[in-house]
Amino acid sequence: MRRTARLLAGTALAVTAVSGPVATAYAGQSGGLEVYPSAAVPGDRVTVGTSACGPEGTAAGDASAVGAGRFTLAPTTHDGDVVGEFRVPPSAQPGTYEIVAECAEGGRRVSGDLVVSPTATHQRVPPRGSVKTGVGGALGPDPVQTAAGVAALAVAAAGGTWLLHRRARGDVF
Amino acid sequence: MHRLGDTAIAAVTVAALCSGAWLLHDGAERHAPPQPSAAEARAGGTDPHSAPALPPSPPDRVRIPSIGVDAPLTGLRLTPGGSLEAPPATRKNLAGWYEAGTTPGETGTAVVAGHVDNADGPAVFYALGALKKGARIEVDRLDGSTALFTVDAVEVYRAGDFPDAKVYGAAPRPELRVITCGGGYSRDTGYQGNVVVFAHLTGSR
């Protein structure tokens, strides 16, 4: 009897595992500091934004690395984003600078890189050719479903074997 | 007592056998992504109704309600070969935009790209080929505005014969391209080309 109970519990677990949801939850955008454009020339206006400070928050921005001083990031109509901007000083030297923002609440610090180049390198070069945006994973067998199917068949085999074993012993079925 | 246990085990065995067979059968039969019909191809002339351009602002989210797309956007650059890189394939619900190009809503051609599938199955733009002319595409921008685009055409192009000027070329009004893989699949070479959605700005909020 105990054996039956154990087997039943095991089977129930296996069936639950098989039929459980296969969905992968979307984890949400991580809390870095987005810098746009990430490559600028002296005199450009640069926008930064982050979702790390919560929907109601504000943040103190610091672009003093590039000589642009402090600025404020304020909430936008987009849930979760605070956004601010600064101007790259005309005297800024070429290089990579760390732009920092610190949430007013909780003090969380996020940062992003700004690359300053001496001349307007960003005359807009359009992309060329096709884009590699698929691997065929929607076409082949679904590995999760296949594994689940194999597990379910294993459960069936175990159950069947056990029943046959009982019958062979002459127990009434 | 044994009888009850046996009946339960027999029932579970049958259930497991059926569900196992179904899972294996169904799992092996996933479908190719939808491809646009000839009716969605580009017609002559351009839609005269176009909204005034918005100031430049980076986008942070794209929504296509008619095919259930609602995804964050990450910045994309060019590969050393000059083609547009794809967003990281590990995150199914992530699209990208060409950040060295036009921002969606300003005058010119903005480009958004995303995966049709990854190793685990369908991804963010799996249903892009099912999009119809006149459908709405919404792009949230970091300045707090939302750019509203209307689909003009949905085309498929082979990788070896990709019309760069048509897809990426400059436009005199705010336009948007949304790109994913498509055009048939072969085990050796992967997807044969791209599904490209052409849209232009018709409003904002």
Q: What is the per-residue DSSP string for A22-87?
A: -PPPP-------EEESSEE-TT-EEEEEESTT-TT--EEEE-GGGT--EEEEEE-SSTT-EEEEEE
pLDDT of residue B109: 95
Q: Is it the case that residue B27 has pLDDT exceeding 70?
A: no
| Nearest-CB residue to B180 (from A83, A134, A173) | A134
Smallest CA-to-CA distance from B189 within B161, B159, B157, B164 is with B159
Find which of A11, A124, A133 to mutate to test the B interface (most B CBs within 10 Å of its CB).
A133
Distance, in angstroms, between B47 CA and closest chain A CA?
Answer: 24
Percent of chain A with pLDDT over 70: 72
CB proximity B188 to A under 8 Å: no
> Backbone phi, then psi, for A165, in 5-degree steps?
-60, -45
- For residue range A129-148, list pLDDT tens digits in order: 999 988 888 776 666 777 88
Distance, in angstroms, between B160 CA and closest chain A CA?
Answer: 8
pLDDT of residue B10: 84
> Per-residue pLDDT averaged across B151-176, rounded?
93
Q: Hey, where are the domains in chain B?
A: 38-204
Distance, in angstroms, between B63 CA and closest chain A CA?
Answer: 13
CATH code: domain A34-116 is 2.60.40.1930
pLDDT of residue A8: 42
CA–CA distance, A165 with B12 (Å, rounded to integer): 16
- For residue range B129-162, list pLDDT tens digits in order: 999 999 999 999 988 899 999 999 999 999 989 9
Strand partners, B62: B71, B139
A132 and B86 within 8 Å at the Cβ level: the answer is yes
Binned at pLDDT 50, 70 and 90, residue A4 comes out as very low
Which of A115-119, B73-77, B118-122 shows the lowest mean pLDDT across its residues?
Answer: A115-119
A156 and B17 within 8 Å at the Cβ level: the answer is yes
- For residue range A8-67, list pLDDT tens digits in order: 444 444 443 433 333 322 223 346 898 888 888 888 888 898 888 887 788 999 999 999
Q: What is the mean pLDDT of chain B?
A: 89
For residue B28, how many C-alpha atoms fall within 13 Å in the half-sphere facing its CB?
7
A127 and B143 within 8 Å at the Cβ level: the answer is no
Binned at pLDDT 50, 70 and 90, residue A156 comes out as confident
Percent of chain B with pLDDT over 70: 94
CA–CA distance, B74 with B196 (Å, rounded to integer): 19
pLDDT of residue B175: 96
CATH class held by domain B38-204:
mainly beta
Angle (CA) A28-A34-A38 rounded to 5° is 145
Report the phi/psi class of residue B190: left, alpha or beta, with left for phi > 0 and alpha for psi in -120 to 50.
Answer: left
> Looking up tokens 């098989």, which residue turns up?
A18
CA–CA distance, A107 with B102 (Å, rounded to integer): 34
R_g over Cα of chain B: 21
CB proximity B172 to A under 8 Å: no
Length of chain B: 205
Q: Hey, where are the domains in chain A?
A: 34-116
> Looking up tokens 């009716």, which residue turns up?
B39
In total, the C-beta contacts within 8 angstroms joining chain A to chain B are 247
Distance, in angstroms, between B105 CA and closest chain A CA?
Answer: 15
pLDDT of residue B134: 94
| Nearest-CB residue to A135 (from B20, B89, B182) | B89
pLDDT of residue A31: 64
Sheet with A70-75: list strands edge to edge. A34-36, A45-50, A82-87, A70-75, A59-62, A95-103, A109-116, A39-40
CB proximity B184 to A under 8 Å: no
pLDDT of residue B8: 84
